[in-house]
Amino acid sequence: MSDLNALTATQLVAGYETGDFTPVEVTRAALDSAVRAQERLNAFVRVDAEEALSAARASAARWAAGEPAGPVDGVPVTVKDILLQRGAPTLRGSWAVSADAPDGAWDEDAPAVARLREGGAVFLGKTTTPEFGWKGVTDSPRHGVTGNPYDPQRTSGGSSGGSAAAVASGAGPLSLGTDGGGSVRIPASFSGIFALKPTYGRVPIYPASAFGTLAHVGPMTRDAEDAALLMDVITAPDARDWSQLGPVPHSYRGALAAGAEGVRGLRVAYSPDFGGRVGVGPQVAAAVRGAVNLLVELGARVEEADPGFADPVEAFHTLWFSGAARVTESFGQEQRARLDPGLREICEEGAARSALEYLAAVDVRMALGKLMGAFHERYDLLVTPVMPITAFEAGAEVPHGSGMRRWTEWTPFTYPFNMTQQPAASVPCGVDERGLPVGVQIVGARHADALVLAASHALFEAGVASGVPSAMG
């Protein structure tokens, strides 16, 4: 059964079609891995074996009748505990959220969850998040610390760290994460998996995030092909999201068909350190350069070029901290006392910022979006490291001894592209001397999600992840 856990969703569906194995067998194996991931890493807030096996048996019957419900029928999936999932409380890592179900609070699926349920996916459980997804590592007062699948004493990243740990550990090949400043890409880079932050609005969101249009829902998978498969399902329209984009006119999986030929001739800008502004560890830099060299071998026209923007961190903080303050606005004194101390600090800072300061931050955001729009008239893709470092000690917001205060200080490559709403992927491309994964970031113009996936897929086919050992070993 452990071999089943190593298969991608694409491979599982192919096996269901041929009858090599059934969704029930696959689900049992994934549940075993979920239990181990929970014991070793604290990746889950909830695992529901009974519900998962019931769904798997229903899927097996559909496959036996030759009538699968969709392209993910019978595939084990996990969901970050920020997104609503019918029948399960969404606690958001906080003691301020009651597990009780007042007025049917837990009777609704988020749009992406609903599309997966309609397509016959098997939900294994909900994965850990920091409180309200506020930071780039995964620990919370309510659920504790989530470890890295390559070294449990180190962080899995965040805020979708539980999802990354689950996928890397074999507890289902697909997971839904959210990304407001890097929250699918950071843990993907730290945990050796693939993740995509789609163009904002491409995957419908409901309820709307308090962090506004910074927050995206995206796939976390083992490779780009599975992410494309998942995107074909979760991008379907949902009337509850007024900011969603229109229907997708193509298949994301279809966009991968060209393979390496899809990269040939692409104009790629490679920015190793944002024009010298970011200090990048030498082994991270070497692994990312190796991925860039692969793009050259595949026929891309790569040029070292920097987007040329100043660090927008203060504007991001205004937007992010204000959103956090909005999340906790109605909390009483007792609820505030139980918040993560770091979250409490940024909420206080956010509440003190004025409407004019917020609008000034929006101006910075619009100027950054204009700059990147012009940049992508010259270049199809931008390639950077995802992270300047590899995973550090678990349970800390910043690396010990770094002198840093907030998580944004070690994530300079991720949050700018939440401000611009561009698609950005994390592709595993190597490890450091301790065997900790490194990720390369591929960024596209707004709406170029298919191109980002195609380039990522070409790198996988060329062996970019061959030097990243499996965390399931």
- Catalytically active residues are 80, 159, 183
With CA atoms as reference, report the closest residue to 302 among 276, 264, 273. 264
With CA atoms as reference, report the closest residue to 464 among 310, 235, 301, 296. 296
DSSP string, 113-136: HHHHHHTT-EEEEEE--SGGG-SS
With CA atoms as reference, report the closest residue to 21 among 54, 59, 70. 59
CA distances from residue 1 to 5, 128, 166, 293 in whole angstroms, order as listed = 7, 25, 17, 37
Separation between Cα atoms, residue 322 and residue 408, nearest integer Å: 15
With CA atoms as reference, report the closest residue to 467 among 425, 433, 442, 424. 433
3-state secondary structure of 37: helix
Separation between Cα atoms, residue 259 and residue 263, nearest integer Å: 8
Q: Is the peptide bond before 219 cis (omega within 30 degrees of 0)?
A: no
Amino acid sitting at position 463? G
Q: What is the per-residue burial (b if ≥16 Cβ within 10 Å, else e) of 156-195?
A: bbbbbbbbbbbbbbbbbbbbbbbbbbbbbbbbbbbbbbbb
CA distances from residue 257 to 230, 254, 454 in whole angstroms, order as listed = 16, 5, 8
- Whether the Cβ atoms of residue 94 and residue 45 lie closer than 8 Å to each other: no
DSSP string, 308-339: -PPP-HHHHHHHHHHHHHHHTTT--HHHHHTS
- Whether the Cβ atoms of residue 410 and residue 389 lie closer than 8 Å to each other: yes
DSSP string, 163-182: HHHHHHTTS-SEEEEEESSS
